Chains A and B, each alone.
Chain A
Amino acid sequence: MEPNTGLPVTDMHRWDHFVLIVYGIAIVLFGGYMMYLYRLRKQLEETE
């Protein structure tokens, strides 16, 4: 895909994988937190 300004993209493309790493961290962090919450809720409901 062409850059929006029409200017040539520099060698910053060698860092493209960092974008995926950041979104991966987001999935792990928030997914992990949601799993923790669901487990906690299940645990509490079982002891109720």
Chain B
Amino acid sequence: MIQTSHERAPTPAPGARWLTPVLGYGSAALIAVGVVLTFLAPPDSLQGYLSRILPIHAQSAWIAYLSFFVSAACSLAYLITRRMHWDRIAHASVEIGVILIAFTLLSGAFWGYPTWGTWWQWDARLTTTALMFAVYIGYLLVRGMLEDPVRRARTAAVIAVVASVGVPINYMSVYWWRTLHQTPTFSIAEGHSYLGGNPMLQTAFWVMFLGMTIGYVYLLRFRAQIAHKQAAREERELEMELRALQSKPQQGVRT
């Protein structure tokens, strides 16, 4: 039996109309500056121009981590409060994270082939990234298969919370297993940066960090607004179905 969410989609908060495009244009401008700086940076003495892949590769991995953490936090909030609003944000965040993790894998392969001599290796970081990608694709597939909004939200929330365990494992994999993939490009704890010898590329790295983080917030808001409209449509369709069922003369009922 299909259940309704028993929750009307809330009215967007004041400021929502202008904030989303401002975030969108702001992030686009910052990313453009980051890309220009990346392409103006001199080549690395060992990697040549391939070092230009690093800022966008590392930042997409970071935003993917962020998006999976946000989805876990929102899913937990959904399981506690049962408000569909949290489920919509969690879904939006996973969708963005999946695209970013796909890009991380692809850009990593294009960087790895010339530098490591292989497109793919069953190394700890690469394998855990591929696993994370597969798990979150599974999350989206499960959502697509369940029609009941409440059951869908509950199942997806449990998957998102459990799957988020993979994020710290993925981050720490380069320290725990010490396989092919190098340690993080930048580490505050260790006080090192692989881009330290190239100030322009380092600047590009931080500009991209800012631009892509704001871009993530923009995409999250935009996607959640669309999910809000989708939920409202789902609710309308369900109401129409119920009304049609109620107006139908009951057949085969003994009086």
Find B50's partner among A7, A19, A25 (CB 8 Å cutoff). Answer: A19
Q: Chain B residues with Cβ under 8 A from A9's Cβ?
A: 43, 45, 48
Specify which chain B residues have a CB less than 8 angstroms from the CB of A22 in the assembled complex: 53, 56-57, 106-107, 110-111
Question: Complex formed: what's the CA distance from A5 to B113 in Å?
Answer: 24
Known: A15-B50, A19-B50. A26 touches B45 (CB 8 A): no
Report the minimal beta-carbon distance from A17 to chain B, rounded to whole angstroms: 9
Total count of chain A residues near the partner, CB < 8 A: 31
The minimal Cβ–Cβ distance linking A13 to chain B, given in whole angstroms, is 5
The reply to whether A26 and B56 form a contact with Cβ atoms under 8 Å apart is: yes
CA distance A3 to B42 in the complex (A): 5
Count of chain B residues with a beta carbon within 8 Å of a chain A beta carbon: 35
- CB of B54 to closest CB in A, whole Å: 10
Residue B44 interfacial (CB < 8 Å): yes
Q: Which residue from chain A places its CB closest to the CB of B51 in the assembled complex?
A: A19
Asked whether A12 lies within 8 Å of B48 as measured between CB atoms, the reply is: yes
Q: Is A35 an interface residue (CB 8 A)?
A: no
Task: Digitize B215-240: 1 where CB-to-A-CB distance is under 8 Å, 0 elsewhere.
Answer: 00001001101100110010000000
CB contacts under 8 Å to A, within B187-236, are: 197-198, 219, 222-223, 225-226, 229-230, 233
Chain A stretch 1-26: residues in CB contact (< 8 A) with chain B: 1-10, 12-13, 15-16, 18-19, 21-23, 25-26
Q: Which chain B residue shows the least CB distance to A15?
A: B114
Q: Name B's interface SS.
A: helix
In whole angstroms, what is the CA distance A41 to B232 when docked? 13
Within B70-106, the residues touching A (CB, 8 Å) are: 99, 102-103, 106
- Could you say which residues of chain A place their CB within 8 Å of the CB of B43? 1, 3-4, 9, 13
How far, in whole Å, are A34 and B105 apart by their CA atoms in the complex?
A: 20
Cα distance A37–B107 when bound, in Å?
Answer: 23
B56 & A33 in contact (Cβ 8 Å cutoff): no
Q: Is B47 located at the chain interface by the 8 A CB criterion?
A: yes
0 or 1 for each of B34-77: is its CB under 8 Å from A? (1 = yes):
01000001111111111011001100100000000000000000
Contacts of A13 in B (CB 8 A): 43, 48-49
Contact yes or no, B198 A4, CB < 8 A: yes
Nearest CB on B from A9, distance (A): 5
Q: Could you list some 18 contacts between A and B, CB below 8 A?
A: A2-B42, A4-B41, A5-B45, A6-B45, A9-B45, A10-B46, A12-B114, A13-B49, A18-B110, A18-B111, A25-B110, A29-B99, A37-B223, A37-B226, A40-B230, A41-B225, A44-B230, A48-B233
Residues of A near any B CB (own CB < 8 A): 1-10, 12-13, 15-16, 18-19, 21-23, 25-26, 29-30, 33, 37, 40-41, 44-45, 47-48
Residues of B near any A CB (own CB < 8 A): 35, 41-50, 52-53, 56-57, 60, 99, 102-103, 106-107, 110-111, 113-114, 197-198, 219, 222-223, 225-226, 229-230, 233
